[in-house]
Chains A and B, each alone.
Chain A
Amino acid sequence: MKMGKHPECRHLLASLSGYIDGELEEELCAEIERHMQDCENCCVVVDTLRKTISLYQTTAASTSLPEEARQRLYRRLDLDEFLNA
């Protein structure tokens, strides 16, 4: 399925990211919400956009610096004495 059922979809697309971040002016925010009441496609785009961001945030939080890499960094910087500080 493609976007474009409503002419406003294209117009509002560039604002959806700001809408998700809660950065939009009240008037534009209300316009998007009014539009979404009648546009299933834009609801899907907003939901999947939110999911996209949350997936990257969730998985990034579990990325850690391997202990061996940390030790090599301290050695390279000649900071070994602070490794276990």
Chain B
Amino acid sequence: MDNENRQQDFSLEKLRQGDRAEFARLVEAYSPLIYRLGLKMLNNPQDAEDILQETFIKAYQHLGDFDGRSSPATWLYRIATNEALMSLRKKRPELISLEEPLSDTSQPQEPMQILDWCCLPEEDYLTAESLEALDRSIDALPASLRIVFVLRDIQGLSTREVAEILDLSETAVKTRLSRARLRLRELLTTYFGDILSER
């Protein structure tokens, strides 16, 4: 799975028996990742904390049902993803109703802006305004693209893991990831292009 946690092993037997120490190890290993998922999906620290808490409460309640066919990480991410999408549906229904109207096999939208903004000084990418532009851009993506981008590019999961979590084909994950990246590139081109033109 992700970074150092990929290597961690958890005892399925202990987890299913409700072993609190083993569950605490799971919480310690994955709480930062689940919090970040919530933060990138909802763009609000309080909502991210709610998703974090609900994810582990539900996980604890259903430990007995965890059959080990997927890894604990995939299982947790699936719960967290459902929580995030439910929260988004309540708070931002327009993002859900604007689900990708196109099929996964259709052509992506053509880039509108061709401008090379890779040459800015590194510090320009990390100002408070730039970080806000990054968050704003991700916030503008429909939920169906946002969740794929967050899981794949921000959480660093593989295409296969994302497909398993979202119950999608790997081809669908790749198509949505491509669209999400191209849209974000487009939005960031507008933002960094303005900075470039002020130079």
Contacts and interface: CB of A to CB of B under 8 A. Distances in A.
Contacts of B45: 66, 69
Interface string B53-80: 1001100100000000000000000000
Contacts of A49: 181-182, 185
Contacts of A66: 45
Contact of A13 (B110, B138, B156): B110
Interface residues on B, range: 35 or more
A23 B174 contact: yes
B110 A3 contact: yes
18 contacts: A1-B115, A3-B110, A14-B108, A18-B174, A45-B114, A48-B185, A52-B185, A53-B153, A56-B149, A57-B156, A60-B154, A60-B155, A65-B31, A65-B36, A66-B45, A74-B24, A79-B23, A85-B21
B10 interface: no
Interface of A: 1-4, 10, 13-14, 16-18, 23, 41, 44-45, 47-49, 51-53, 55-60, 63-66, 69-70, 72-74, 76-77, 79, 82, 85
Given A13-B111, A47-B116, A52 B52 contact: no
Given A56-B154, A59-B131, A48 B27 contact: no
B32 interface: yes
Contacts of A60: 36, 40, 154-155
Interface in B112-150: 112-118, 125-126, 131, 134, 138, 149
Contact of B111 (A18, A45, A51, A72): A45
B154 A17 contact: no
Contacts of B149: 56
A79 B79 CA distance: 20
B20 interface: yes
B181 A17 contact: yes
B154 A44 contact: no
Given A48-B189, A57-B153, A63-B39, A17 B178 contact: yes
